[in-house]
Amino acid sequence: MTRTPTLPWLEPGAPFPPVERAWGARDPIPGLLAAGGALDVPTLVSAYRHGIFPWYGPEQPILWWSPDPRMVLLPQAFRLHDSLRKALRAALRQGRLQIRIDSAFDAVIAACANTPRPGQDGTWIVPEMQAAYQALHRAGHAHSVEAWWEGELVGGLYLVNLGRAVFGESMFTHRRDASKMALAALVAACRAWGVALIDCQQQTRHLASLGAAPLPRRQFIQMLQQALDAPAPRWRFDPLYWNHLWPQAPLDLATHTVP
């Protein structure tokens, strides 16, 4: 008979257990580290600095995770598929797409929570989670990358940033490829800023198709600690960042359009 391992219960303000104590592949829920605690800004910052993130559903306690391996997108490994590249070039050439950062954070996280997703019933972005990341945004640690189409918000994502590390949380799209365009803009900015890694947390086929790959947790933590030592970038999007995605066909420096 297999014994279920004990899951630590955290009181608010209590330190996290070492990530090596997260449940492993032979345990009931691999990657689960602890339950309880709080979603205040200091706790969230501490969690991300240690490679830990919260994820839970309605009527569940706060659950903290540190999976092994960890799904990570290295900015230089991003796969810009031809169809997305062509759609981006056309949208930019026509002046229909605009990328903005932090102009509608609350709207982005609400859309991520409320947009139906195939194969999913409900959302993990419960109201307490939304409020927590809104507070994290006001503290300067959470950001939104937004795709605006002819003045309408049609897609985007929100993330956490500490140092030169970026932790992707969720994305939404109300127009074909809009969330991918926002992700491509994030990758372009990360290349320009020297961001070392974009943490994707969970392994999915969709993320793998865009270049994300699993890293052993030990390697992820090492990369994270190095990235935390660097200063955080200034979160604004310059259209010239697109040059980091297609250096062989750069944006026109005068008009910011695609030649």
Q: How confident is the model over 123-139, as pLDDT tens digits?
A: 789 999 999 999 999 99
Q: How confident is the model over 55-102, as pLDDT tens digits?
A: 999 989 999 999 999 999 999 999 999 999 999 999 999 999 999 999
**Strand 152-162 relative to strand 53-54: parallel, antiparallel, unpaired?**
unpaired
**What confidence score (pLDDT) does residue 120 get?**
53
Q: How confident is the model over 149-161, as pLDDT tens digits?
A: 999 999 999 999 9
Q: Is the Cβ–Cβ distance between 21 and 33 less than 8 Å?
A: yes
Whether 118 shows a pLDDT value over 80: the answer reads no
23-29 long-range contacts (CB < 8 A, ≥24 apart) are: 24/68, 28/4
Q: What is the pTM of this model?
A: 0.92
C-alpha dist (Å) from residue 166 to 134, 160, 191: 17, 6, 12
Whether 256 shows a pLDDT value over 90: the answer reads no
**What confidence score (pLDDT) does residue 203 get?**
84
Residue linked to tokens 């709080």: 38
**Residue 141: strand, helix, or coil:** coil
